[in-house]
A and B are shown apart, each in its own frame.
Chain A
């Protein structure tokens, strides 16, 4: 029983990282119809910037926010300069964002070197506590707590604010929303930036666990893609559900069939795409 709880906690912790990171991907896909494969690179950038801040003496939380901010800015730039022109041109989005990944990763290699780096968690969180017969790192519990807060904030933003209402309206009927006099472009940019911020922030807070290295962009991105498809794009609750499903399946998969864990993820993805492409809670994009 205790082991079950520990594995569950392991899973939920990973789910939180996925949730924070996948939100950006989900929203851009849901509202703007844009597949941004460079989102993983933003995760990595956020972590590296946070590393720089931290090693220059900044405290942990400052580093996390700095990472998020820089990722947000770069995300915004990418959106304005490139992605805006590629609305609904899926093939081009894929190629362009892939190109961006190559470039950003190589820049990271250039400036930070090839080693994995880490930011140690705040000292007051860096110890284990006993749960049942096992021990579990307190920092990971903190990650889960952050996730809960983030979910509440994001859900409130999308469901209860005007900006959120615009976003949801735009997902349902873009022309109408614009026709009603809403500055849709501005809203999209804001939303994209918030998503990028969340991605970069997630990057830094994940660092004390998995570290940061220049070639980590695609692995985390692939996980997030699965999350977004399973949970359904464009929905905060959907992304949460997707993250929980994937995170927990991953943790239990690793505990019981380690070599096939990754394998199972992709099978889940394919099964979802065949059964209900719009995901558990998502809206359908692009009927073809």
Chain B
């Protein structure tokens, strides 16, 4: 954050300024449901879920430098497990279901990670793509369990084991918000830790990290699994949101939307994906009002613009803006 004169800014304000983006985002999301019309509320719930999914992708892409074209596999598996356990096996408890999903996606990611991390660059991309497609076609073929092309529907609101809650969309929104908050906090701590910093080191210069004695494979592998698990959690939430699951949740389109969200929001900034999700979902909402049949075209245009012009993404630029504001504030005060 260039231009920040550290000596003239008291310590408390320094700490605060680091957390301000989170505070701002948090406040917006807490206040919004009360002032927003109900449809927007469910859109916001979708934003929160996709933000979690995108943040998990950012973990391996933005922070570790591994672009995955098949990240939706974990999202889809998390979603399917939820729908299948509830509808086919009559399981109720939200906590049990999310635990199963975490375990399942962790196992899946650990298997896929071993395969994918044997190669790098272009081949990593192709392997992750292939693995994602495997899940997609596997879900399609296993019709008895997953409903195949039609999907599986009928998921009610989550059973938290707490009596006396009469669910509605607003409560569900806050539940998702709380879970997003918890997951974000956990991810944040992971990424701020030495482990997380090593990941950034791997992204920047893998050879150097290896020379310094780091087991880059192991670090990447663990990051891969963690990213998969958080994607799975997002999938669980999505299943409750959609009241079911379809093969689209593990498909290429879902993976690519996540890529777009991360790149628009900023890969270098932790809360970047949240901003990216808001932008993409909002844009889709407005476009669907005026030019519904042209949304894919506009989506494509956004991809191209992001790559050619929006270097760094919006998040980074917001940070710079914030830096300038703090500097101005600091220099005015001092």
Residues of A within 8 A of B (CB): 29, 35, 82, 85-86, 90-92, 94-96, 98-107, 109-110, 218, 222, 225, 229, 259-260, 262-263, 266-267, 269-270, 273-274, 277, 285-286, 288
Contact of A92 with B300 in the complex, beta carbons under 8 Å: no
In angstroms, Cα B140 to Cα A259, docked, is 9
Q: Mark the stretch among B51-59, B126-134, B233-241 that contacts chain A.
A: B126-134
Q: Is the interface of B mostly helix, strand, loop or mixed?
A: helix
Count contacts between A and B, CB distance < 8 Å: 110
In angstroms, Cα B296 to Cα A101, docked, is 9
Known interface pairs A90-B125, A260-B141; A266-B130 also in contact (CB < 8 Å): yes
In angstroms, Cα B214 to Cα A239, docked, is 39
Query: In this complex, what residue of B is CB-closest to A274?
Result: B118
In angstroms, Cα B126 to Cα A94, docked, is 11
A to B CB contacts below 8 Å, 6 in the list: A94-B259, A96-B308, A102-B297, A266-B134, A267-B134, A274-B127
B187 at interface, CB cutoff 8 A: no
Besides the known contacts A94-B67, A273-B130, A274-B119, 16 further A-B residue pairs in the complex with CB atoms under 8 A apart: A35-B125, A90-B67, A91-B67, A92-B307, A94-B69, A95-B259, A106-B293, A106-B294, A106-B296, A109-B293, A263-B138, A270-B115, A270-B130, A270-B131, A273-B118, A274-B118
Q: Is the interface of A mostly helix, strand, loop or mixed?
A: helix
Residues of B within 8 A of A (CB): 67, 69, 115, 118-123, 125-127, 129-131, 133-134, 137-138, 141, 206, 252, 256, 259-260, 263, 293-294, 296-297, 299-304, 306-308
In angstroms, Cα B131 to Cα A259, docked, is 17
In angstroms, Cα B263 to Cα A98, docked, is 13
**Which residues of B lie under 8 Å from residue A262 when comparing CB positions?**
133, 137
Known interface pairs A103-B301, A105-B296, A106-B294; A222-B133 also in contact (CB < 8 Å): yes
In angstroms, Cα B308 to Cα A288, docked, is 25
Contact of A266 with B306 in the complex, beta carbons under 8 Å: no
Within 8 Å by CB of B308, from A82, A91, A222, lies: A82
